[in-house]
Amino acid sequence: MLAPEIQAAVDCWLTPAYDIDTQATIRAMQVAGHHEALTDAFYRSLEFGTGGLRGIMGPGSNRMNRYTLGMATQGLCNYLIQCFPGQEIKVAIAHDSRNHSPEFAQIAASIFSANGITVYLFDGLRPTPELSFAIRELGCQSGCVITASHNPKEYNGYKVYWNDGAQIVAPHDQNIIAEVNKITSVAEVKFAADNSKIIGIGADIDARYFARAKQLSIDPAAIQRQHDLKIVYTPIHGSGITLVPGLLSEFGFSNISVVEAQATPDGNFPTVQSPNPEEKNAMQLALSQAQAQDADLVLATDPDADRVGMGVKNNAGEWVLLNGNQTAALLTNYLLTARHRAGQATERDYIVYTIVTSEILGDIARRHATKSYQTLTGFKYIAGLIRTLEGRETYLGGGEESYGYLLGDFVRDKDAVSACALIAEMAAVAKDQGRTLYQEMVQMYADYGLYLEDLISLTKKGMRGAEEIQEMMAGLRTNPPAAIAGLPVVEIRDYKTGKITNLLAGTVAETGLESSNVLQFILADGSKISARPSGTEPKIKFYFSVKQPLKSVVDYDLATRLAQDKIRAIIADMGLV
């Protein structure tokens, strides 16, 4: 039997305010006795997290559908009208390849236009970073993209952006939620489109994006010499197919092989379990094609093309996948080294990485006399720092361990399209010097010491799952470990309270960052363990980072095994296996 508040929410959705198909689906769930599924669909309303609105598609207040999308869009409209009184308000809308994404994009466009807002609607699927670019390029006050990023096929979402092309942050996020919460009935949502307010965009914005992205190239001469670098690319059935091959060609690469089985956009993602370039399964077709073609580089983007995975050949000629920290480190090392070599480095330059990303990025920046900053997890924080420092310092690049990177500041969210081009340039420069990217990576670690990271992500679905995640975080705060894997905990960083407690000195300092539900434990050898509930998925994530001495490239394999052993010991001692 459903709880009274759940039943009341279900009854509301069985009124004529909701379409017949939605009502029929809910009634069928009732008849079948799917009480747990109904509870999960109605126990709360979807809220904006680090990536906006995101959820499983289906009927219910806790699901992604035309009504939750509609109420969120109407709330955003009301807020925009408050923020920009008397102005022509403009928004841009894009969508990826997920099921119902084109439909949801059209619904959002209809609601914006019905509220008197001018809409720039892409004529087909496009990557999320191009939406961010379009907002700034077209002088919009806001924008949105329909996507659930790399989540499984059951999900869809709605990322909202502000006038700087970045995802919404405080106070706008909570203010929009407040406006949404004021809407007591879907009857208040203006679904009837004013088509005179909807303007199609496409090829022209593509061309403008390409022109800006090409300016990121640091060593075009090396590309010209290595233009036939063998690149295998897969969009994993997503929007990357619209821009990535084209930008690689614009950079000068002439030997691009697309994985045809994954080239067609398809929201069912039929060739993979999950369209996530962080997972080997999603990369397997590309790796097999690269092996058959004796390629130099494998690149893969997720459905909305804001994350990129890469594969390279090791010294034995075997294909290996680099993780997000390794790619971020390589890109940072290339950016700073190449700019210095080209005479482009300035005292104003800086890079950014998040608190759960490898600390080698800071080491690389220090060696190049370049400033580095750390932010909370989520590219909206990196974009916020760019906004704060704009005009005073020069943003070069930034990244996070979850395969997201941003080079240059003409986009204000992670951008796998431009990252693919810079990774390819990095590979071309290495090949021009007789080396592979794998050899570049090993040399980088020999220069700075071997940093090795790992991640465990625990999924806790439904209302009870959310409670379990909060209980785990509360337990770590109230009863923190004194030692992990035999190593004393010397520092606790609690980003929720904003306090850094040095257990050796007995001192407390401020994090200097806004509050976020993240805990970090620093061990005596410098190892770092982070616990963080996801803002967009029913997960709690544990990040592990260790550093192992590495004096020579010949010791890389041994140092890697020792670092892996250290991480396994930490995971076992924390009871996470």
Select which of 149, 257, 358, 372 is catalytic: 149
| In-domain check, residue 220 | yes
Alpha helices in 64-127 (DSSP H): 66-83, 101-114
Query: Quick check: is 14 in a domain?
Result: no
pLDDT of residue 49: 57
pLDDT of residue 44: 87
- pLDDT at position 438, please? 98
Residues 234, 298, single domain; the answer is yes
- pLDDT tens for the 577 residues of the chain, in order: 889 999 999 999 999 999 999 999 999 999 999 999 999 999 988 776 555 688 999 999 999 999 999 999 999 999 999 999 999 999 999 999 999 999 999 999 999 999 999 999 999 999 999 999 999 999 999 999 999 988 899 999 999 999 999 999 888 888 887 888 888 889 999 999 999 999 999 999 999 999 999 999 999 999 999 999 999 999 999 999 999 999 999 999 999 999 999 999 999 999 999 999 999 999 999 999 999 999 999 999 999 999 999 999 999 999 999 999 999 999 999 999 999 999 999 999 999 999 999 999 999 999 999 999 999 988 999 999 999 999 999 999 999 999 999 999 999 999 999 999 999 999 999 999 999 999 999 999 999 999 999 999 998 877 788 888 999 999 999 999 999 999 999 999 999 999 999 999 999 999 999 999 999 999 998 899 999 997 666 789 999 999 999 999 999 999 999 999 999 999 999 998 7
3-state DSSP assignment of residue 143: strand
Residue 61's CB: how many other CB atoms inside 10 A?
A: 19
Tell me, yes or no, whether 344 and 253 share the same domain. Answer: yes
- Same domain assignment for residues 309 and 234: yes
Residues 355 and 441 placed together within one structural domain of the fold: yes
Write out the residue range of the structural domain in which residue 119 sits: 44-201
CATH number where 499 lies? 3.30.310
Asked if residue 36 is part of any domain, the answer here is no
Question: 155 with 297, same domain?
Answer: no
Report pTM. Answer: 0.94
Pairing mode of beta strands 349-354, 371-375: parallel
Q: What is the pLDDT of residue 48?
A: 65
Instruction: Indicate whether 16 belongs to any domain.
Output: no
**E strand segments, 393-538:** 394-400, 404-407, 450-459, 483-484, 487-494, 499-502, 507-510, 519-523, 528-533
Task: Clarify whether residues 175 and 148 are in a common domain.
Answer: yes
Q: Are residues 498 and 510 in the same domain?
A: yes
Instruction: Report if residue 18 sits inside a domain.
Output: no
Q: Are 379 and 259 found together in one domain?
A: yes
Q: Is 432 inside any structural domain?
A: yes
Number of domains within the chain: 3
Domain-terminating residue out of 397, 428, 448:
448
Do the domain assignments include residue 31? no
Instruction: Please state, as a whole number, how many other Cβ atoms lie within 10 Å of the Cβ of residue 14.
Output: 15
Last residue of a domain, which of 419, 448, 477? 448
Amino acid at 75: G
241 and 280 co-located in one domain: yes
**472, 444: one domain:** no
Residue 2 lies in a domain: no
Given 162, 179, 201, the domain boundary residue is: 201
Is-catalytic flag, 113? no
CATH code of the domain in which 241 resides: 3.40.120.10
314 plus 403 within the same structural domain: yes
Q: Is residue 172 domain-shared with residue 271, that is, in the same domain?
A: no
